[in-house]
Amino acid sequence: MKKKILPLLFLVLIVTLINTGLLMFMILGEAVNAYLNRPVVISRDYDKGQSMEKAIKKNKPVIALFYTDWCGYCQKFVPVFKKLSNDKDIKKNFAIAYINAEDPSNFVYTAQYDIKGYPTLYLIDNIKNKKEQVEPVELFGFNAKENLKIKFLEFLR
């Protein structure tokens, strides 16, 4: 008798969960949780870019982006920075360096520029011997791309 009741109780539980929508909620909840907790790897895109060494050799002012893959703010800034780095005026006047702050080969730069948070953006002109950190609040906002472009071009003066 017990052997017949257990499968029947299980079946009743499943039917009840389906009828109340809880089963779908549980399944979808797990799927959403898995999606939201997936690792986002920024460096797949950025590591294809120039290193700081290559950017400095261009004899142009450098826009140096310090980032980490796990940083939520870096992930939000990625689309803005991609558009900005493809702008013709920016490409013409600047070399762009992508610096994964967790890569041991970049520790010298994170120390040199005293990087404490991410993303951090520096404008560097070795010819004029000047550098300027872009304030983090300037990286986000409705007109961030346009405002950053203006700031970068003003740095050239």
SS3 letters for 4-55? HHHHHHHHHHHHHHHHHCHHHHHHHHHHHHHHHCCCCCCHHHHCCCECHHHH
pTM: 0.70
The residues that bridge with 65 in the sheet, in sequence order, are 98, 121
The mean per-residue pLDDT over the stretch 17-42 comes to 59
Give the pLDDT band (50/70/90) at residue 55.
Answer: confident
For strands 130-134 and 95-100, give the pairing: unpaired
> What average pLDDT does the structure give for the chain?
82
| CA 95 – CA 90 distance, rounded (Å) | 8
Give the pLDDT band (50/70/90) at residue 69.
Answer: confident
Question: How does pLDDT run across 113-146, given as a tens digit for each residue?
Answer: 999 999 999 999 988 999 999 998 899 888 999 9
Exposed e or buried b per residue across 120-130, where buried means at least 16 C-beta atoms within 10 angstroms of its C-beta: bbbbbeeeeee
Kindly state the percentage of the chain with pLDDT values over 90: 39
Residue of higher predicted confidence among 49 and 103: 103
